[in-house]
Amino acid sequence: MDGADLEYVGFWPRVWASIIDSLLVSVILLPLLSKVFGLEKSADDLLGLLSQGGGDILLNLLLPNGAMDFVVSWVLPAVAVIIFWKYRQATPGKMAVSARIVDAQTGSAPTTQQLIVRYLGYFVSTIPFGLGLLWVAFDPRKQGWHDKMAGTVVVRPRHRGPKPANFDPPK
């Protein structure tokens, strides 16, 4: 597909893609985590965190609770996302909005190194109050900081809707 047939994907479609991906990850990980740690333990831990109050809640939710929690909560999602990016140039959420990740210079598929940098760049983009993700809304090429770090852009077909209605009789 020629660059003239593509458009950069803006902030709101990427937010929707992220919501779709987050829901899918939750549907997969929550049963897995409850199977590994037990549903009762997870509920008790959450209630205990909520009763603590303060900033410890976020810290306790982000820090892994052992090696298995680290693998299930951090490693598996990272591997899954990078595999989707490598072989489909998109996660299911991006596919739902007809978006794909390409090299910003050539428009071709990004390298594995670019994809790993892009994934790690999400953390950099999120740390300062999500400013690196919000950047997509204001950047002319709709690149977040993670895209800039990796040298990628997110594009989709310019005319992705159905064909216009035609009421002329067939010949």
User: Using one digit for the tens of pLDDT, what is the confidence trace for 9-33?
Assistant: 999 999 999 999 999 988 888 787 7
For 106-156, what is each residue's pLDDT tens digit? 999 999 999 999 999 999 999 999 999 999 999 999 999 999 999 999 999
Distance separating alpha carbons of residues 87 and 83, to the nearest angstrom: 6
Residue 83 counted as domain residue? yes
Residue 109 counted as domain residue? yes
Residue 162 counted as domain residue? no
DSSP state for residue 111 in the 8-state scheme: P
Query: What 3-state DSSP class applies to 32?
Result: helix
Range 88-106 average pLDDT: 96
| 62 within 8 A of 70, measured Cβ to Cβ | no
What value does the CA radius of gyration of the chain take, rounded to a whole number of Å? 20
| CA-based nearest residue to 86, from 67, 101, 68, 71 | 101
Residue 164 counted as domain residue? no
Q: What is the pLDDT of residue 52?
A: 56
**Residue-range definition of the domain harbouring residue 131:** 3-157
Residue 15 counted as domain residue? yes
How far CA 65 is from CA of 50, 71, 74, 156, in Å, comes to: 17, 10, 11, 39
The whole-model pTM stands at 0.78
| 57 within 8 A of 49, measured Cβ to Cβ | yes
Residue 86 counted as domain residue? yes
Helices 39-52 and 11-37 sit at what angle, rounded to 10 degrees?
Answer: 120
Q: How many domains does the chain have?
A: 1
Residue 110 counted as domain residue? yes
Q: What is the pLDDT of residue 57?
A: 46
Residue 170 counted as domain residue? no
